[in-house]
Structure 1
Amino acid sequence: MSEFRDPVPGPEAPRHFIRAKSEPRFPGGPAADPAGSHHERRIRSFQPRRSRVTAGQEDALQRLWPLWGLDIDGHRVLDLEEMFGGLPVVLEIGFGMGEATAQMAADDPGTGILAVDVHTPGQGNLLALAERNGLSNIRVANGDAIILLREMLPPRSLTGMRVYFPDPWPKKRHHKRRLIQPEFLTLAARPLAPGAILHCATDWEPYAEQMLEVLSAHPDFENTQEDGGFAPRPAFRPLTRFEGQGLDKGHKVRDLLFRRVTTRA
Structure 2
Amino acid sequence: MTHKAAAGAWLARVRRAAGLTQTDTAWRAGITVRAYQAIEAGRHPTPKTLQAIATALGLDLACRRHLDRLIHPPRTAPAPPPTEHLRQLLAHINAPAWVVDPAWTVLAASRSAPVMPANLALWAIDAAAKFDDWHRVSADLVARTRSTLSWYETPGEPVPAVIAAVRAASHAAELAWSAGHVADVPHREVLAFEGRPLTLHWATLGNDPSARLVVVTGADPRHASGGTRSPATQTAAPCPPSPATAP
TM-score, L = length of structure 2: 0.28
Query: What TM-score comes out, normalization by structure 1 length?
Result: 0.26
Higher helix share: 2
Question: Relative contact order (C-alpha < 8 Å, sep 6+): which is higher?
Answer: 2
Question: Which one has the bigger strand percentage?
Answer: 1
